[in-house]
Structure 1
Amino acid sequence: MNYEFLLKEADHFGVSVYEEPLKGKIQGFYGDNVIWINKLLPSSANKYCILAEELGHYHTSTGDILDQKNIINRKQEARARSWAYERIMPLSKIIEAHEEHIRNKFEFAEYMGVTEEFLEFALKRYKEKYGVTVSYNEKYTICFEPLGVIKWFDKFF
């Protein structure tokens, strides 16, 4: 999956996406079925991560959540980010990266097409959600600290 794929997905849901220079530190913004991505972001990986999060807002948020002092708004922000993590970096991709012999977090971020910061936040969120390890498809255990995958032998019975 990549930025272009998410653009098509947004279009499928009737969400328009525009890239324009945005003021201040704003990287992306969602409202009324329109996503604005800061055209000045340094890489396609940045745009990909921001688009995923803004699509997360489309799928999970309601109303104006700009005031992040409000706990309900912060929860909606967290839900949108979680949606993004699970959409573009699901647990299956961690297994896939392991099978492709990805050796470190830098290579993993490159393999996924995401920023290292996005990868770190996604792994932190998964650790909050599952704990230090999670079983996957009864064949793997994903460890979040340190990051690694254990592949178990097939069951003999």
Structure 2
Amino acid sequence: MKGKNKSTIGVKGAIIDANIKAAVASAQSENYLGNSDHNMYVSGEGQYIYANAEANNGFYLGEDDKIGFIAGGAAEAGGAKGEVSYGITTFGYKLGFTEGACFQCGGVSYRLGAIYDMKKGEVTVQGFGSVGLDVGAKLGGNVTVPLKWLKIIDKIKHKE
């Protein structure tokens, strides 16, 4: 049996990010072709006899150089589950999709968010949702837009 627990509570913002996962067997793979500005990627994850619980809620108020909000949670258990994420990056713009399915499962999950990363100078908007009752599906996506000019303006302000 394999298990994983990750939890953090924000200091400057009001963020709760807690994940507990357990599975008899799990596997994952992440692959991309290209560099950080121009690439195609695909990743996948599978779990066999699993249970997951998540809470991802709150506001980023400068913590980790991020500003924005995230709302999400999950409670899932089942026999078999798999998901694949894929997308492209060109000139710093990222477009990604997530699809998944579960069998002999029950549960629900969702995530919505919009975050500005001050270090990277980019905004990410994401949304995912899944529902399962014996057989289930997951769909979602994310868009990341580079806003390097905001970093330049911030640097100019700090020099004055």
Question: Would you tell me which structure has more strand in proportion to its own residues?
Answer: 2
> Do these two structures clear the TM 0.5 threshold for a shared fold by scoring above it?
no
Q: TM-score range by the shorter chain?
A: under 0.3
Between Structure 1 and Structure 2, which shows a larger proportion of helix residues? 1
Higher relative contact order (CA 8 A, sep 6+): 2
Report the TM-score, using the length of structure 1 for normalisation.
0.27
Query: What TM-score do you get using the length of structure 2 for normalisation?
Result: 0.26
